[in-house]
Structure 1
Amino acid sequence: MARRRARIGLFQPVRGGGATISLDEVEISILRSLLVQLVELIGPGPAEDEDADPLASLFAEGPSKPPEDPALARLFPNAYEETENSAEFRRFTENDLRSRKRDDALAAIRALDLGGPLVQLTPDQARQWLGALNDLRLTLGARLEVTQEAEDGESGLFSLPDDDERKPLVLAYLWLGGLQESLVETLMK
């Protein structure tokens, strides 16, 4: 059976699950840069103290207040409208959520670094990429103040003049949306 050649910029399914995508050097550079910035935004992982009690990290409490940065607030939203329940929920879940988001972004960076122009992902790596792409879009959307109206095309955000400083972010936002959609469709096959 002849192998299907991956189309540039679109995910394709691979036998046994997972996905593959062919990216050019510029796309790899942009995606890697965005992922590194996402990892920096999310923040460092837990301190790696060899002498620390391993059970202590299991019971470590996270923050009880939502982040002030709009992008972080979008990545780590309140779980409940009620402030007290939301604070309690955040305290016990945000550290794990941050860790998962950081791990997803780092896995995507590693795959880009190892893959060259043809990136092949196992089913687990593909799910991590899906999470990282979603987090990138949420972050850019928060920075661009994207609303549902903007998503529906009722905003001038997607028809900015070329000299508008937001134009590169809008183009990245749209490109990431295409990648995300392509990966979702691939994983559903």
Structure 2
Amino acid sequence: MTDWTFRPLPDGSGWAAHLAAEERAALADLVDDVAALLDEGRPAAEDLPGLRIGTGPVEPPRDPAVRRLLPDASRADPDVAAEFRRLTEDDLRTTKLDQLGLLRRALTAEGPDLVVRAADAPRVAAALTDVRLVVAERLGVRTEEDADAVVRLAVAGGPLHPADPATVARRYLAAVSLLLSALQDSLVEAMLAALPDEPGDGRHGPDESGD
């Protein structure tokens, strides 16, 4: 199995993780699928400087996977949720589509590694999160127990019966979920490790205990 761990680039400009060609192709296809979901059913909107605002009521997405990406701003107040959705949904869809496009370009770039520049890392991490959420919804993940079951399915060995396409598809999604989780966790850890130390946080520097 591929390591799927992001490691610093020699010039310090970002990180790279080695993925097999078929893994990169599978993720690129999935990114396209998520982008298509976000691009469908976009509400009518008018352009204002730096923002597109809906011109009328915007219904919540019917697809539960898209609903995970575009949740209600308020569960307690439907009016607040509806107004917030009208004002922000199209702009949020655009932001997410841009992030997915950035991830796709990284996945389809030449070379054996998935390279993420430091300046792009937060947006790539956000795109990985969105793809991961869609896969989780398709797999019916709601609890930690559900997530553990997906991991067990992803690493399960043995042949699949060709007459059981649902199980084949579910195991495929489980394997992709495992890959997405590993990449996202590794990239976030790399970003956190690159943050400058806070003065006096005790993580580095000489011993100030006075001993």
> What's the TM-score once normalised by structure 1's chain length?
0.81
List structure 1 segments (4+ residues) > 4 angstroms apart after TM superposition.
Answer: none
| 3-state SS of paired residue (1:124) | coil
Count of residues paired in the alignment? 175
Q: How does 1:13-32 map to 2 (within 5 A)?
A: 13-14=8-9, 15-32=11-28
Q: 1:183 and 2:177 equivalent?
A: no
Richer in strand (by share):
2
- Calculate percent identity across the aligned residue pairs: 34
Higher-RCO chain (CA-CA 8 Å, sequence separation at least 6): 1
Cα deviations across residues 76-123 of structure 1 (Å, max 9, x unaligned)? 000101110000011111111111110111111112222421232222
Give the residue type in structure 2 aligned to 1:60.
I
Aligned to 2:108: 113
On the 8 A contact 1:45/1:99 being kept in 2, the answer is no
Task: Check if 1:148 corresponds to 2:143.
Answer: yes
Residue among 35, 38, 41 paired with 1:39: 35
Measured on the aligned residues, the alpha-carbon RMSD in Å equals 2.6
| Structure 1 gap ranges (5+) | 1-6, 47-52
Q: How does 1:75-154 map to 2 (within 5 A)?
A: 75-81=69-75, 82-151=77-146, 153=148
Question: Is 1:11 the equivalent of 2:18?
Answer: no
TM-score, normalising length: structure 2: 0.73
Shift of 1:125: 1.8
Q: Which has the higher helix share?
A: 1
Kindly indicate whether residue 66 of structure 2 is the aligned counterpart of residue 72 of structure 1.
yes
Task: State the one-letter code of the partner of 1:84.
Answer: D
Amino acid across the alignment from 2:90: N
Of the structure 1 ranges 122-131 and 86-95, higher mean CA displacement relative to structure 2 is found in 122-131
Unaligned runs of 5+ in 2: 161-166, 194-211
